[in-house]
Structure 1
Amino acid sequence: MKKVIITLLMVGVAFGLTAQNIKVDPNIKVEVTPDLKMTVGPDFEIDLGAHIEQAMSSIEGMFGMDFGDEEGRWKEKYQQDTEELEIPLSKPGEKGKLQVESHNGTVKVSAYSGPTVKVKMIKYSKKVERESGENGMRLLSSGGFNVQAEERNNIVKVETEGWNNRVDFEIQVPTNFSLDIKTYNNGGIEIEGVNGEHSVESYNGPITLNNVSGSASASTYNGAVKATFKAVTANAPMIFTTYNGDVDLTVPAGTKFSTKMKTSRDIFTDFENFALQKTTPQKSKEANGYKVKYEDWVEGKLNGGGAEVTMETRNGNIYIRKG
């Protein structure tokens, strides 16, 4: 029950509700359904799925730690333990793939000229106490690292198995490496200079792809999605989505793609050869008639069009920039 109350309070904050502007209708009805929708009166329905999942992810991800401080002052409160791994590849010099699943912490991946994958892990936990407390006991440890890494045929997998202690990853890979990165709590993701096919997903944290090449799919529930490409693979579809934050895409001047975009705010570009198209509605035959539906998508073509690039945000702007 406490978890539900906290969640609803967080959702209330997301909608900008305060004690001063909430009006309670005695006839209000709250209907709990499998797809998480709230019915308020006969004509108003709110889709709570994304907001509840985002709120619970934020609450459960904190574990009593103030990780929301963007300047990193929270780090002073916790003990930092570091471990480093160097993982050899079965086929050095050939293309490879890195798969990371992090339950609590950020992931940074950068390209370098070496033949191995280098993994640095930073664990944050309660500081070990030097003096005994009132009960004559002092803290020795909050546990060790709970990380597993393996390599097979140039595919490297790194995974954290615990949720309580935050572990940040700083990983170096050869330049020609594809990435499959998934994070959950406190899960900001940064990618620098890697060339490949990238799939990046965060449940709670911003995503930044800087000076990458190839193609990418990036999505998060809470945070901006920013991608800057040195080169884009022709005819490769891409997706960039967030619930709360901007979608900011930079591509070389000659890049061609077709796009579908959706936002409750605004769309900007500095490309001269970007043309909007008339949106195509969904049409279907119903049992007793016919149905046409517009879903608020904006469609367009860059430099004449090409593979489809989808960009969507529920609370933020969309930017398409010329690199």
Structure 2
Amino acid sequence: MYRKYLSGRTVALILFVLNGISILFGITLISLGIVYIVDHGNMFEVVGSSLYTSGVYMLIFLGLVITIIALCGYIAADRENICLIVSYIFILGLLALLLFISGIMILSFRSSLGDSSKNLMIDSLRSHYGRHGIITDAWNLVQRNLRCCGVDDSGWSIYNGSWWDMIVNSDLYETNTKLSESSLFYLFVPESCCAKKLDGLTGWPTDIYRDKKRCQTWQYGPPNKRNGPHNDAIYYAGCFESLRSYINNYAKPLGILALIACVILGKASGGDFLYKPNCTKQKRRSYDSSRLDNSSKQSHV
């Protein structure tokens, strides 16, 4: 009798611990998802793919649901309500499946950056940069934070003939024409392609450009020419490879965290499944003992 009671208490303790871990993971998923959306959400507009952001939004939603459901699991286990526990097991299994799907979505986004994504970036930069505010802000954010310019390495010429080029370098005196590339006022690249001075202590870029005029208008080398004297005022790296390495660094831990949470939910669901028959046995024993007490009282009477 004591062993059965002890095993029931052990299962209950394991269940409470797993529910506590589920709550912690739910809060962690919500926090990380919000940080990724706020700090890095616009970066993925330049790729033209919603796979990553959809996975992150799903993680935020699931983290919120996990926290609420785990709290309900405490109540169900404390009251030993069979209907609540069965419903809790079913919902945990469903959440584990959805977490697995969202983790796979985020991890698969790392390998989805191929030629199609590169072509979307080229089209986005040439046709929409400087025309639509969201795309322009996203590209400026990517080029500043990742210290890159254009799509390919040394690919400053992608701006030549783009929508941004036609607007910024338009001739004020002749309609539908733009300045000659030999003009001293012709801008080859936007200022987000220009390198900034680094802080001596932190190593992070400051708000001061090294030489913005040399970056945007230099005629004797980059960005006007692919080859020539080195121009330390402009970024040489292309944003496609920089963005790919950035995603590899950040998407992998977030996707793995989702899969770990999936495993924990599966364990919690299994703990509830073990706890359910134990509650049934305890209730049945209490019911049988009450019947025996009543029958004994009646016999004495």
TM-score (norm 2): 0.25
Kindly name which structure, 1 or 2, has the bigger radius of gyration based on alpha carbons: 2
Quick one: higher RCO (CA 8 Å, sep 6+), 1 or 2?
2
TM-score (norm 1): 0.24
Between structures 1 and 2, the one with greater strand share: 1
Between structures 1 and 2, the one with greater helix share: 2
